[in-house]
């Protein structure tokens, strides 16, 4: 039998607490106007003190499994993409495996920052198409609010918490037509959480200097993102033997509205063919794309047979794009 990997179900979960831009006006030298015009963000979600990355991930996973008409026991493999795991180890994927009762699943995390979800579905596609696993759960989940320095106005206003998940398995039509991944370690210092690993283990020094928070060279990341989002999309479209005229919808990583608009221009797609929820959630790193995918599907923006491009970039530097012919 010819196995073609595609999306069997999709789900997402957002914490209920909302922080709007006016909150930041009160605690730092910024304004709603600056944040909205420079980034497109109006508000973001923040996990409660009791909620962890694996909680958000588990909630989104259960919705994706239900959407696929499956049970947690039907899942063979769990891949969690996150830059904010519950802890260094065990993996967040193992914690999810227990929380949702996926008793037959192997589980591991991947680290590719905001590109993690595209990396995850690329891995899942291989496992499904070589018939090692039937149903693979891929989750992007983040609690970035725990990794922010609220004294740094250039990063703390950008990020939010959330999770999105898909089940990848054999589909009878459409599926994941192509994926394209890339990385460039020369850009490692543009975006990082410098401490907490073997290079700079936790110490009073690392805590006092906020080295457990996200550090970013915003302008360098911006220039890289504007270039790579278009390039990566075009590579994935070419690998799917399609042209940009064949693309029905774009689901980009939600980092900055100006980066998204530049990507749409490169693909010659009007903005009504591009999903945007950045204004409501900010940048949720690995969770941005699956949350946007879930919302786009539920709002009827993508329909069976549509060619959908997913594209993201992030710390590493990393990037990834894929073309999915929607099969739900
Ligand atoms: N409020 C008010 N002023 C601010 C703020 C703020 N929140 N943040 C920065 N500024 C100031 C700066 O200090 C600077 O002031 P100066 O000119 O007096 O020095 C001025 O605004 C302009 O700063 P720039 O950094 O040039 O502003 P820019 O227009 O580039 O926007 C931004 C900054 C929004 C961060 C942009 O560079 C960007 O979006 N970069 C991409 C970031 C990104 O996508 N990161 C996520 C990667 S995903 C991952 O892997 C986690």
For 318, the token pair is 């990393």
Tell me how far apart the alpha carbons of residues 294 and 292 are, in angstroms, rounded to a whole number: 5
Q: Is 22 in contact with 309 (CB distance < 8 Å)? A: no
The residue whose CA is least distant from atom 13 of ligand 1 is: 154
Using the 8-state DSSP alphabet, how is residue 159 labeled?
B
| Per-residue confidence (pLDDT) for residue 1, from 0 to 100 | 67
Q: Are strands 77-81 and 106-110 parallel, antiparallel or unpaired?
A: parallel
Residue 64: what pLDDT? 98
Just list the catalytic residues. Answer: 114, 253, 283
Query: Looking up tokens 């995918």, which residue turns up?
Result: 293
Q: Cβ atoms within 10 A of the Cβ of 194, count?
A: 16
One DSSP character per residue, 45-60 reads EE--TT--HHHHHHHH
Task: Compute the 3-state secondary structure of the chain and give helix, strand, coil in percent, each to the nearest 5.
Answer: 40, 25, 35
Task: Please tell me if the CB atom of residue 114 comes closer than 6 angstroms to any atom of ligand 1.
Answer: yes
Q: Is the CB of 113 under 6 A from ligand 1?
A: yes
Cβ–Cβ < 8 Å for 138, 115: no
Q: Tens digit of pLDDT per residue, the chain (328 long)?
A: 689 999 999 999 999 999 999 999 999 999 999 999 999 999 999 999 999 999 999 999 999 999 999 999 999 999 999 999 999 999 999 999 999 999 999 999 999 999 999 999 999 999 999 999 999 999 999 999 999 999 999 999 999 999 999 999 999 999 999 999 999 999 999 999 999 999 999 999 999 999 999 999 999 999 999 999 999 999 999 999 999 999 999 999 999 999 999 999 999 999 999 999 999 999 999 999 999 999 999 999 999 999 999 999 999 999 999 999 999 9
Measuring from atom 2 of ligand 1, which residue has the nearest CA? 30
**pLDDT for the residue numbered 2:** 87
**What's the pLDDT at 195?**
98
Count of H helices and E strands in the chain? 11, 13
pTM tops 0.95: yes
> Would you tell me the crossing angle of helices 288-298 and 116-129 to the nearest 10 degrees?
70
Instruction: Enumerate residues 6+ apart whose C-beta is below 8 A from 143.
Output: 47, 51, 52, 53, 56, 84, 161
Structural domains of the chain sorted by starting position, each given as residue range(s) with its CATH number in brackets: 5-173 (3.40.47.10), 177-325 (3.40.47.10)
CB of 153 within 6 A of ligand 1: the answer is yes
CA of 121 to the centre of ligand 1 (A): 30
């Amino acid at each position: 039998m010819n196995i073609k990997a595609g999306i069997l179900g999709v789900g997402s979960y957002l914490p209920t607490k909302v922080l709007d831009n006016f909150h930041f006006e009160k605690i730092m030298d910024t304004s709603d106007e600056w944040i909205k015009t420079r980034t497109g963000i109006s508000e973001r979600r923040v996990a409660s003190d009791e909620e962890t990355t694996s909680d958000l991930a588990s909630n989104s996973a259960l919705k994706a499994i239900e959407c696929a008409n499956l049970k947690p026991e039907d899942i063979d493999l769990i891949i969690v993409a996150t830059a904010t795991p519950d802890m260094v180890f065990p993996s967040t994927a193992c914690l999810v495996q227990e929380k949702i009762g996926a008793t037959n699943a192997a589980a591991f995390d991947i680290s590719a920052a905001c590109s993690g979800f595209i990396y995850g579905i690329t891995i899942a596609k291989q496992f499904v198409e070589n018939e090692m696993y039937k149903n693979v759960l891929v989750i992007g989940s983040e609690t970035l609010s725990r990794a922010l320095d609220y004294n740094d106005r250039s990063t703390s206003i950008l990020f939010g918490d959330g999770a999105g998940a898909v089940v990848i398995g054999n589909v009878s039509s459409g599926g994941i037509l192509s994926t394209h991944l890339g990385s460039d370690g020369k850009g490692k210092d543009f975006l990082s959480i410098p401490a907490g690993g073997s290079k700079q283990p936790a110490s009073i020094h690392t805590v006092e200097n906020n080295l457990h928070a996200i550090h970013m060279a915003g302008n360098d990341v911006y220039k890289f993102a504007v270039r790579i989002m278009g390039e990566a999309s075009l590579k994935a479209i070419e690998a799917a033997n399609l042209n940009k005229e064949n693309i029905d919808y774009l689901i980009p990583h939600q980092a900055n509205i100006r980066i998204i608009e530049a990507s749409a221009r490169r693909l010659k797609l009007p903005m009504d063919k591009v999903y945007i929820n950045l204004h409501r959630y900010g940048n949720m790193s690995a969770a941005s794309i699956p949350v946007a995918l879930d919302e786009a599907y539920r709002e009827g923006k993508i329909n069976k047979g549509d060619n959908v491009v997913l594209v993201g970039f992030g710390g590493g530097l990393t990037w990834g794009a894929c073309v999915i012919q929607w099969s739900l």
